[in-house]
């Protein structure tokens, strides 16, 4: 290293300053005597960095302290001096630097350059008192950085909510702050506050009750704007929510908010019950699928009138055996199929489902990893064997091929009707054993060929055929009228 430091080539010595293994004594000599300094080398001594900045132009200086490397030795005294630089880009870099002391950041918090103030708000060294002052700054990005700063005191977060609520309709007057007058800016700030576990409960309650008036209300609106749904959804994930606040949110008008609550760790059994009795199917489905849902709630939803909800209960890995036993006798084959796929079934339930009348239920039993070998052996014909042979595009459009020895033709046709392959759907709609509900859906298809297939199918009900006799396509009309 000493030999290279005395090399005649300046390029060699420049590369030497970038090497993290170069001794500090050599880095110091090259920096002080030859003005060769690499600011990205964490071992570069502060004395060399301090001397280097003295002879730099504003542009080079801003680049020099940009993106400071971890462990940078940039002296505090140097940063303090640069905080008063006439170039705002230099002051911005000082405000962003991890070595800048809190006293200097307090000074820069009053800077005329908004980018510098934003950097102060984001700096981990900034005093809580300084952040509290910046919490009422008219620039929304500054307030957003304050909210995200871990040093921001809870009372400042509450103050932002209150000030936004009271002055959300007042646009900023300065050119630099025009962004804050656009819709959504206040929402960005409040969304971060809503999800912050350090936000005081009283501020969270304001958001939970949707008392905030939006940033850009429509003066012609009959109903005043309230808290944006995104803010309340963020609030629903806040781990600090009390059962009282959760009680407010289970009544929220947004279905998405109520669905989000299912993941909250502070739900009481009474709140679970409120969600399980929700009028929205998607909320009840979310509860039925939640692995932390109480057993009593799963027992309740196992008797839900909607198949989708019962299916979610059937696939929930925490559903007790008693509930699975009940669902194994459900009238809907989709629910029984879901039960058959649950890996926690007893041999008794698996045996029952292995004799189910529906092939899809028996197939689910055959594919269940916990099905005993003797039961699986009786269902071996239902297990789809992997194949490497090339199949035709039509066959690839089928979920599975029809096996006359084991399959229910009506069920298979219903599956084929939802194939991604247009030809498979067309042939299915021509088949006389295709279920009437599938034909009804086909009669509403955007494809005239599928509507033609329904019109030409001898099993199509006359009511449906009369409807197709008035179809916009003349070929469909002709096919339907011939059958009529």
* pLDDT tens digits for range 416-441: 888 878 888 898 999 888 888 889 98
CA angle 441, 443, 449 (to 5 degrees): 115
Kindly give the residue spans of alpha helices, DSSP state H, lying in 372-468: 373-378, 393-396, 409-416, 422-430, 436-443, 448-456, 462-468
Count, residues in the chain? 484
User: For 8-61, how does the pLDDT look when each residue is reduced to its tens digit (9 = 90+)?
Assistant: 788 888 888 888 888 888 888 887 888 888 888 888 888 888 888 887 888 888
Q: For residue 433, what are the CA distances in angstroms to 262, 366, 414?
A: 43, 27, 10
Asked if residue 300 has pLDDT above 50, the reply is yes
Report the range of poorest mean pLDDT among 116-120, 270-274, 416-420, 471-475. Answer: 416-420
pLDDT given at position 131 = 95
d(CA 124, CA 67): 15
For the segment 226-247, what is each residue's pLDDT rounded down to a tens digit? 678 888 999 999 999 999 999 9
* Annotation: CATH topology of 398-484: 1.25.10
What's residue 166's pLDDT?
57
What is the C-alpha separation between 478 and 470, in angstroms, rounded?
9
The torsion angle over the Cα atoms of residues 147, 151, 155 and 160, rounded to 10 degrees, is: -20
Alpha-carbon radius of gyration of the chain? 35
Confidence check: pLDDT of 221 > 50 = no
Share of the chain above pLDDT 90, in %: 48
DSSP at 344: T
Given a cut of 70, whether residue 443 has pLDDT beyond it is yes
Q: What pLDDT score was predicted for residue 27?
A: 83
Reported as a single tens digit per residue, the pLDDT across 117-134 is 999 999 999 999 999 999
- Reported as a pLDDT band with limits 50, 70 and 90, residue 268 is very high
Is 80 exceeded by the pLDDT of residue 283? yes
pLDDT at 15: 87
pLDDT at residue 402, as a whole number: 61
Whole-number pLDDT of residue 214: 47
pLDDT number for residue 153: 93
Average model confidence (pLDDT) across the chain: 84
pLDDT at residue 215 tops 70? no
Q: How far apart, in Å, do the first and last CA atoms of the chain sit?
A: 99
Helix (H, G, I), strand (E, B) or coil at 295: helix
Q: Does the structure show a pLDDT above 80 at 177?
A: no
- DSSP 8-state secondary structure symbol assigned to residue 69: P
What's the pLDDT score for residue 181? Answer: 36
pLDDT of residue 406: 59
User: Which range among 279-288, 316-325, 393-402 shows the weakest confidence by mean pLDDT?
Assistant: 393-402
- Give the integer Cα–Cα distance in Å for 145 and 150: 10
pTM of the model: 0.62
Average pLDDT for 451-460: 90
Distance CA 359, CA 414 (A): 13
The SS3 call for residue 247 is helix
Mutual orientation of helices 474-483 and 448-456 as an angle, nearest 10°?
10
Specify the range with the lowest mean pLDDT, choosing from 151-165, 213-227, 290-304, 347-361.
213-227
pLDDT at 404: 61
Highest mean pLDDT among 52-56, 161-165, 169-173, 256-260: 256-260
Average the pLDDT over 175-182 and give the result. Answer: 39
pLDDT of residue 73: 80
**Among 111-115, 306-310, 392-396, where is mean pLDDT lowest?**
392-396
Write down the domain spans for the chain: 398-484
Contact predicate 104/83, CB 8 Å:
yes
């Amino acid at each position: 290293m000493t030999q290279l430091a005395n090399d005649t080539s300046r390029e060699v010595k420049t590369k030497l300053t970038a090497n993290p293994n170069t001794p500090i004594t050599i880095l110091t000599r090259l920096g002080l005597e030859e003005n060769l300094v690499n600011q990205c080398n964490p071992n570069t001594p502060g004395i060399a960095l301090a001397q280097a900045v003295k002879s730099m132009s504003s542009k080079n200086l801003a680049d020099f302290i940009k993106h400071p490397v971890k462990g940078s030795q940039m002296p505090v005294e140097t940063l303090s001096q640069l905080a008063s630089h006439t170039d705002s880009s230099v002051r911005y870099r000082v405000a962003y630097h991890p070595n800048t002391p809190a006293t200097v950041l307090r000074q820069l918090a009053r800077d005329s350059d908004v980018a510098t103030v934003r950097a102060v708000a984001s700096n981990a060294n900034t005093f809580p008192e300084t952040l509290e002052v910046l919490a009422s700054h008219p620039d929304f990005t500054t307030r957003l950085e304050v909210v995200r700063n871990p040093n921001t005191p809870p009372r400042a977060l509450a103050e932002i909510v209150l000030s936004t609520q009271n002055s959300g309709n007042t646009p900023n007057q300065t050119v630099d702050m025009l962004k804050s007058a656009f819709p959504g800016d206040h929402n960005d700030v409040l969304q971060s506050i809503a999800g912050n576990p350090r936000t005081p409960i009283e501020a969270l309650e304001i958001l939970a009750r949707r008392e905030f008036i939006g940033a850009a209300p429509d003066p012609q609106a009959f109903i005043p704007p309230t808290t944006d749904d995104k803010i309340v959804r963020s609030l629903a994930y806040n781990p600090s929510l009390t059962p009282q606040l959760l009680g407010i949110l289970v009544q929220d008008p947004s279905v998405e908010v109520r669905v989000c609550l299912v993941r909250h760790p502070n739900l009481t059994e009474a709140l679970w019950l409120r969600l399980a009795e929700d009028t929205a199917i998607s909320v009840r489905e979310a509860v039925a699928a939640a692995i932390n849902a109480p057993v009593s709630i799963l027992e309740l939803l196992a008797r839900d009138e909607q198949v989708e909800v019962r299916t979610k209960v059937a696939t929930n890995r925490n559903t007790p055996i008693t509930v699975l036993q009940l669902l194994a006798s459900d009238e809907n084959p989709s629910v029984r199929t879901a039960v058959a796929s649950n890996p926690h079934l007893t041999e008794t339930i698996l045996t029952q489902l292995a004799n189910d009348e529906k092939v899809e239920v028996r197939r689910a039993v055959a594919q269940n990893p916990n099905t005993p070998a003797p039961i699986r052996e009786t269902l071996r014909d239902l297990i789809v064997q992997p194949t490497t042979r090339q199949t035709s595009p039509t066959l690839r459009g089928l979920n599975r091929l029809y096996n006359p020895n084991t399959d229910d033709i009506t069920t298979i046709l219903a599956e084929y009707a939802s194939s991604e392959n247009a030809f498979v759907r067309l042939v299915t709609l021509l088949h006389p054993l295709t279920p009437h509900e599938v034909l009804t859906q086909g009669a509403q298809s955007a494809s005239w060929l599928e509507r033609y297939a329904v019109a030409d199918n001898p099993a199509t009900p006359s009511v449906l055929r009369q409807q197709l006799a008035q179809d916009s396509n003349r070929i469909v009309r002709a096919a339907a009228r011939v059958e009529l």
